[in-house]
Amino acid sequence: MKILHTSDWHIGRTLYGRKRYEEFEAFLSWLSETIIVEQVDVLLVAGDVFDTSAPSNRAQELYYRFLCRIAASSCRHVVVTAGNHDSPSFLNAPRELLRALDVHVLGNVMENPEDEVLLLNKQDGSPELIVCAVPYLRDRDIRTAEAGESIEDKELKLSEGIRSHYADIVVLAEQKRNELGIDIPIIAMGHLFAAGGQTVDGDGVRELYVGSLAHVTAGIFPACLDYVALGHLHVPQKVNASDTMRYSGSPLAMGFGEAKQNKSVCLVEFENKNSEVRVVNVPVFQRLERIKGGWKEISARILELSATKSQAWIEIVYDGEEVIGDLRERLDAVVTGTELEILRVKNNRITDSILNQIHEDETLDDLNVNDVFDRCMSMHNVPDEQRPELLRAYQETLTSLYEHDKMAE
């Protein structure tokens, strides 16, 4: 039995105003071909199918067209769980229809925990796999807020709530396996931040967490699990150096900070309960490049790229000693006549010199949500000792806003 684990597609995501539908379409086409060539039996998508809770018509078209193509392939089952970017109600809306295509969708925590335990069968109807299909666990799903709680209390409740949820679901999975009398594998899915997980600047994950809030340890997953398919972190990685507990990572570079990453999916092959995991690299459909340095280094690198007829999208990070007032104009002149496109220019010479003042050349694209709040605290002369607590409260507020399902009634 072959299982393909992927996550964090973020269909519909833009990059500094540029739409990326051609890249998403190319990836999904490559993925469907890979599933056919590798004769994959089960596809697991561990959250963040879409980039927003209200995806565009084109984003939806790419998603449903892909599912229809997979339904006609050798892949017998698709399991899709929601991530923090997904609208639970939107993903769930066609659930009953998709079930006819053996596509199982879990957009939110189910009232009956048994509904998160999926028994998948072979073509002959005999059981072959149990999947604990756990979607992104929102704060309200696993924690009851109480007045006067400390940060440590909240963190403890969050981690305990997640641990308890997985423990309950896995117990049900083991009971189901015992009832069947067949020693088939049990796999868990999740969309969360495992402590020690690697993130990169600009991936949209790093800015969401401060300290250890909402981080969980690998110990929350029961030892009986044969594989844990995780989503949320965009860097492909093992958890606690375990071959069978992994983040597949995002298949496309979500920002210039991910430009040098090798993107991949995980192919898990079971022989009875013995598994072997193979990482399959995803092709680069649109090259991204971050060029950092002084004017001499930047202009030289652009000339190198243009000589190779590169069609890269470029981010410029200028940190030279010279103050260049017409940096953008110089860059536009250098790329004129090439197939290169500069999407972002960050002038560190300016931003470093005036921390709490927005320069005329600086835009909100140069700041993340934490930068904005930090500047707000500076403008209001908030004492340094009060800032960590305020920043945590701000992060909780942001998280609750992100978790609000705009598509629900």
Q: Which residue has the tokens 């269909």?
A: 11
Cβ neighbors of 155 (< 8 A, separation 6 or more) are: 212, 213, 214
Statement: residue 229 has pLDDT above 70: yes
| Averaged pLDDT, 318-332 | 86
pLDDT at 210: 38
Q: Please give the average per-residue pLDDT across 43-54, as a whole number.
A: 95
The residue that leads in pLDDT, 5 or 359, is 5
pLDDT tops 60 at residue 202: no
Q: Residue type at 29?
A: S
Share of the chain above pLDDT 70, in %: 85
**Lowest mean pLDDT segment, chosen from 15-24, 136-145, 328-337:** 136-145
Q: Is pLDDT of 212 > 50?
A: no
Query: In whole angstroms, what is the distance from residue 255 CA to residue 57 CA?
Result: 23
Bridge partners, 316 (sequence order): 291, 345
Would you say residue 206 has pLDDT above 50? no
Taking domain 288-403, whether its CATH number is 3.30.160.720 is answered by: yes
Helix axes 295-307, 327-335, angle to 10 degrees: 20
pLDDT of 203 strictly over 70: no
Question: Rounded mean pLDDT of 222-229?
Answer: 94
Q: Which of 37-46, 166-175, 185-194, 377-386 has the lowest mean pLDDT?
A: 377-386
- The model's pTM is 0.84
Q: Return d(Cα 179, Cα 174) in angstroms, integer.
A: 9
Entry field: residues in the chain: 409
301: pLDDT confidence band, cut at 50, 70 and 90?
very high
The domain 2-281: what is its CATH number?
A: 3.60.21.10
DSSP annotation of 321 reads: S
> What was the pLDDT predicted at 211?
38
Q: Once rounded to an integer, what is the mean pLDDT over residues 80-87?
A: 94
Only one residue has tokens 């400390």, namely: 150
Summary mean pLDDT of the chain: 87
Beta-carbon contacts of residue 173 (< 8 Å; ≥ 6 apart): 117, 130, 132, 186
pLDDT at 209: 46
Lowest mean pLDDT among 74-88, 245-259, 321-335: 321-335
Domain boundaries, the chain: 2-281, 288-403
Residue of higher predicted confidence among 205 and 105: 105
Of all residues in the chain, the percent with pLDDT exceeding 90 is: 63
**Residue 201 has what pLDDT?**
62
Q: How far apart are CA 116 and CA 170, in angstroms?
A: 10
